[in-house]
Structures are given as C-alpha cells and as structure tokens.
Chains A and B, each alone.
Chain A
Amino acid sequence: MEVTLRVFRYSERIEPHYDVYPLSFSGGKTVLEGLFDVLEKQDGSLAFRYSCRSAVCGSCAMFINGSFRLACQTQIKDLKSSVISINPLPHMKIVKDLVVDMKPFFKKLDMILPYLIPKENPPEKERLQLPRNRKRVDNYIDCILCGACYSSCTVAATDEYYLGPAALTKAWRFMADSRDGGTAQRLAIVADEHGALRCHTLFNCVEACPKQINCTQAIQNMKKKSVARILGFI
C-alpha cells in the first residue's frame, strides 16, 4: 500500500507548515508506526509522543484525517485515504510538531481533587463494595488522560477557565464511587460557571474519546446535582 503522510510541522524557529512523506507498506500499519518510519528513515527532526503503542497510555492522541484518534490505535488502511493528514491536538499550545502542551489539561485535573476522599477511616482489610456499586464507575474509570476530549471541546477552547470533559469526568468517577465521600467538596468546585454548568452538551467529547467514555453523561449527572445543590436540595 502506498500512502502519503502529510504531517503538521512547527517549532519555535519554524513557521507552521506541512511536510509530506511517502510511505509504502504491506499488511497492517498504524499511524504511530508510520510516524516512527518517518522519524527513523526520512526525517529525524520529527517530534511526537509515544509510549505503550497499545492504546492505554494516552500519549499519542492526535487529529488525524479530521478525527480525534490515538495514532497507535489507528490502522492506516482503515482511513481509506491515500493521504493521511496528521495534526496535533487542536486548541492546545504546540510545543513542537505533534507535541502539545498538556500542562493546562493536567492543572485542571488537579483542581477537582483527583483522588478518593474516603467516607470514613477504612477498615483493616478492604472496604466492601457490591458489584452493582462497582459497576457505577465502569466506563468512567477507563479514561487514559489523552486529552482528545479536552481538545475537541468548543467550550474548553473558548473559556480558558472551563474545567473540561476529562477533569469533570474524573470528578464524576469519584462521585459515582460508593467508597467516596467527597461529593460536597467536589460539587463546590464543579457547580460553577466554569464547571459542569458551562457544558453546552455538544457531545464532541464523546465522539472524540478513543475509549468510548460517555463524558457528556458524567457532566449531565453533575449538572443535575449542581442544580440540586444550588437550590438547596442537597
């Protein structure tokens, strides 16, 4: 198979532009493997992030042929295109080429108290949690913090204080956990014009998520709780 990788290039001293690299291969090849081919054989100056190459570490979220994808999880042949256009995550500051500045993303994650706040002192052994309660965090705990949702979110792009889908989903992951007692503390943070209430319910995050996490549902759940809190019901 013959394709062309059209890769976004930028660094402090180089104006943004696209470089084009031919790539021929047979069988399966992921976009990440294609980028490695370019780096190793054609252009050693290319910058991108990688680690696990198995869709679980969250390093390689990019904007590929118009969609948010993990480069490692995307088979080139599945894109059904002779030109593969590879861009860094939109709406984020570019460090170099496909590498973006994730600091604002992680800073917002820190704001929602991203750790379990136990209801009470834990017992000597494990806390008991019934399977049906454990099930309530399913899906939400699959987040790999790749940033695709945050990058796809129109609201995050226009309100620099908006917490964004990943941080909010993390907040909900704890609120939904029967072992957690931090709901009031977290609601005080997310029931805010830059928190859950800012979400426009566009579902961009759901569409962008490579792990099929329903971020919008998580945010909707918190909107309900936020309203209840504002009205003094909880």
Chain B
Amino acid sequence: MRAAVEAAQYADTAILTLVHPVRSHTVAAQGGINAALANADPSDSTERHAFDTVKGSDYLADQDAVEIMAGDAPLRIYELEHWGVPFSRMEDGRIAQRPFGGAGFPRTCYAADKTGHYLLHTLYEESRRLDVKTYQEYMVVSLIIDRNKCKGVIALHIPTGELEIFSSCAVIFATGGAGRIYGRSTNAVISTGFTIGIAYHAGVPLKDMEFVQFHPTSLYGGDNILITEGARGEGGYLVNSRGERFMSKYAPTAMELAPRDIVSRSIQTEINEGRGFDNAYMHLDIRHLGREKILERLPGIRDICIHFAGIDPIDTPIPIQPGQHYTMGGIDTDHDGLSPLEGFYATGECGCISVHGANRLGGNSLLDCVVFGKRAGEHAAKYASNLEKPDEGIGRVALEKAKKEMMSLLESHGTENPSALRRELQETMIEKVGIFRTREQMEEALAKVKELKRRFRDIDLSYTGKPYNLDLAHAWEVGGVLDVAEVIVRGALMREESRGSHSRRDFTQRDDEKWLKHTVATATPDGPQFTYKDVVITKWQPEARRY
C-alpha cells in the first residue's frame, strides 16, 4: 500500500491484490512501529536505532540499509500521523512510545495493540484519496518477462477463474512472507510464500531464506495467533511451570525484552527440559498490569484470548508457545526494492534488502514496509514513467504457459490431496527446520520436501469448475512453495554456524570468518544454486551479542 500511494504520485498505478487491501496481513500487526522520535526518552537517536537493529540482526543486516531505515523512520512516522493514523498519545499530545525487545530505549510508536490495523486502514484511505485503481481477488501466478525486463504479470481472477494479462512497465511485489510454509505460524492463511516462489521460478534470486523468525508468544490452543511483544513491553512476565521468571537465566539484563530469537530459544529450552506446562507451553502473565492498563494498552490481546483461548488475561495467565512469525529472507533487492531483474521490485516481508539480517527486531517490520515501500514506489514509478507503455500482446506467451499449467492442475487425476501435502510440509518444517536445527533433522526435511515434490505430480483436484475455485488456487500455491521450502532447508543445511534465528545444535557458535555473508539462491533445473554476498559494514564491527 505504501508503495502504491507513492507510485501513484508519479505514474499510472494499480494495485493487484489477492484479497481486498485491508485484508492483507499488515492488518494483524499489533505492537507498533519503531522510530527514534525521542518522545519517550530524549536520549534516543536514529544512530542508536540503527545499532540496535544491527546487533539484533546478529550482524547480518547490511548496515547502510539499516541506516537508511532508522534515518528515514521519524519522517515516515510523521507522515503516517499526518495521513491520520490514530497513534496513542503521551500526556502532552506527542506520539506515545513503548519499550520493545532488543531496543535500548522506548522507541516503538503504537496505537493501542492494533497498530497494523490502523496503519493499513489509513494507507488504504490514502489510496482512496489518490483514487488508486485496485483489482481485487487476483492471484498472480507468473511474471511477464521480455528481453530480461519485467513487463507485467499473469493473474488468475478468482471469481471468474480466468487468467488475465496485466502488462506494465514495472512490477512491485509487496506480497508478504512465507510463514505458512511452516506449521504453528502466526501469519495470515494467505501468507503462503507463493509469490516468493514466482520470483524464484522467474530466475530472480532469493536471499537469506534460512532465517525464519519464531515469535516467542503465539497463543497456545488458539491456532498460534500472535500475542504482541507489546504485552511484555508493557511489563508482562514469562513464567514456567515452576513459577520462575526464567528469562533471568538467559538474558539477565533485558529479561523478557531480549530479542525474539533469544526469547524463543529460552522458552523452547525450558519446555524441552521439562519446565513447561503439558510439555508444550509457557505462561505470559500480564495480570499485574491491572485491568485499566490492559483495557487501555492491550484490548486486542484481551479479545483474542477471550475468543480464541477462552480465557481473560486480566484474571488468568496467557498460554503461549513460540510460533513461526516472520521471513527475514526474501527476494534479493537493493535499497530501492529493485531486484536483479530490471523492472521488478519487491518490498516489505517478501523482499530482502537486508535490514533484518538473521533476526528482526519487533517494530521494524511495519517500518521496513513504509520506509522501503516508499522508496520502491518512487523508484519504480520514475523508472516506468520514462518508458513506453508495453505492447498489449507482450504477455501472450506467458499467458499461454500459465494456461497450460492451470489445465494440467485441473486435469490431474492422481491420488494425492494437495492440502494434505501442504500440512505435511508445514509439520516437517516446524519439527525439523525450526528453532533448533541439526544436520540430521534438516536432511530428513530435505528428503521430505523432495518426496512431496514427487507426490505433487500425482495430485487430484476434487473440483474443476472455474468460478472461485479455491481447490485450484491452493493446489497452485502448494506446488509453488515446495521449491521455496527447498531453498530454506538447503540454505540452512549449508550454513554451518548459529546466527540469529538460525540456531544449530551441531554448530553452536557464530562464525564470522566463514559465514558473515548473505546466502543467495538462484533456481536452476537441478535445484537451487547457492552463492554468497558480503555483508555491508559501515560503523559497527561484529561483536558478541549480550542482553
């Protein structure tokens, strides 16, 4: 949305979207968005924000990109405020900020615990002010590439079941992460990673895909719905079955507000060592914050607990467990969201610049979206406005190819249920390529992904009609994400170290000599080919990460 709002100021822009714009996963972001406004603490600075981000990333983030993000953050927040985001306020009327994990100062601007909801709706409103065209319920299935330039997309119109050509001078993917490759994901059901697969299949490299964030607190027994880090930012405790605030063992200074990779590992360790509840979950206790504060600052969390777990956190601790949450890796792009394929951009969670490195800090994902969404929108639109409108016939070859693919899916009469394959994939990934990883388990996962690919050739679609064929859409998605899963597993297998979210039992230390570099995976007929890229270091040499 941020990219579209920017692009619309320079070029004829349209939003092509699988769901209505306000249904996208940004709407589920809760805790807030980081910017060193220094409202809550005057000693905060954009430089401190950048440093916290770099340290949080376990030094894998490109520091020049991080400096852009932290530097532009206040401008983007003020702009959002000007557009109408109803931020929560301090007594004097300035934007309120709360403490978040891995941050040296209370830096996370928030609007109760529904920041993403308000932010996305405001951006949608801004798009209405600018009258940006939207094409809804279109599932993009492939890129149109002409002489090594991206010239549009082929998309399946879900309500009619027809494939259509959208030709354009530039394409920006702002399509979210690949969370649903994993089981126990906090992500929306539509965050399948399918579009990351589209880019990969078109020859665009993927970067750092092995870095998958597990959020410490997803609702146990409630489909792993996110319970914001803001709950801990406001003072919530993590407690094991012995009643201990166990974070004192793992991060004695930061406690519950250590970065997510560390807190998730700590929770999982406690569970693995028998100090969890039912060997499955921990308690997030916010009772001591009191009714008034919970109702003011965390009303959404309370509603989620009531509706999805049947408990009221005012009276009862919240059962939580770590859940897949964020895709740090993504489509390889530069600071303007431009991928190595001319005319093709990616921004937000589907892209990787990289500003999050091996572990994203809470509150930096919405920020990534608005800072780099703006940049991508501006760059793409300026690029596009210098070009002739592509010839209408340009997508015909791509359309025919997509039609063939659709027909082969619709005419498949095998024995495998594509949804069952997806569930097996999800289970494999969370069990074997999860918080803690070993070569043995990851090799099992790789074998499983290969098996699923083989079995996918033998699928059966139970419905072959055209309008609103979810069976077809889901099968297409499953086929597309298996290769993305393979990139994740192979990248993780090759990286023989522990860094950020990638934590190996067999290589427990960070190894800067060998692995201070980005993984880049490119599709070949024989599977992904891996190369590596240097990390950009400007000010901060890697050092030990203590909290």
Contact = CB atoms under 8 A, between A and B. Distances in A.
A and B co-occur in one complex:
yes
Interface of A: 11-12, 27-28, 30, 33, 39-41, 43-59, 73, 75, 95-97, 99, 102, 106, 109-110, 114-116, 118, 122, 124-131, 134, 137, 141-145, 174, 177, 179-180
A22 to B, nearest CB: 17
B128 A126 contact: no
Interface string B78-94: 10011110111111111
Contact of B188 (A39, A53, A99, A109): A53
Contact of A46 (B114, B121, B128, B470): B470
B22 A145 contact: yes
A76 B388 CA distance: 55
A51 B470 contact: no
B188 A52 contact: yes
Contacts of B420: 40
A141 B124 CA distance: 14
A116 B84 contact: yes
B19 interface: yes
B462 A44 contact: yes
Contacts of B189: 50-53
Contacts of B188: 51-53, 57
Contacts of B462: 43-45
B426 interface: no
7 contacts: A28-B221, A43-B462, A52-B23, A56-B300, A57-B19, A126-B82, A129-B89
Contacts of B308: 28, 30, 54, 73
A106 B468 CA distance: 20
Interface in B143-163: 159
Given A27-B221, A73-B307, A116-B84, 17 more contacts: A12-B467, A39-B419, A39-B470, A40-B419, A47-B470, A54-B226, A54-B304, A55-B303, A57-B28, A116-B83, A116-B125, A122-B82, A126-B78, A130-B93, A145-B121, A174-B84, A177-B84
A5 B485 CA distance: 34
Interface string B157-192: 001000000000000000000000000000011100
B117 to A, nearest CB: 6
Nearest to B472: A44
Contacts of A134: 86-89
B126 interface: yes
B441 interface: no
A187 B23 CA distance: 29
B423 to A, nearest CB: 8
Contacts of A141: 86, 118, 121
B48 interface: no
Pick the most buried of A56, A59, A118: most chain B CB atoms within 10 A of its CB: A56
B221 A124 contact: no
Contact of B468 (A40, A95, A142): A95
Contacts of B88: 131, 134
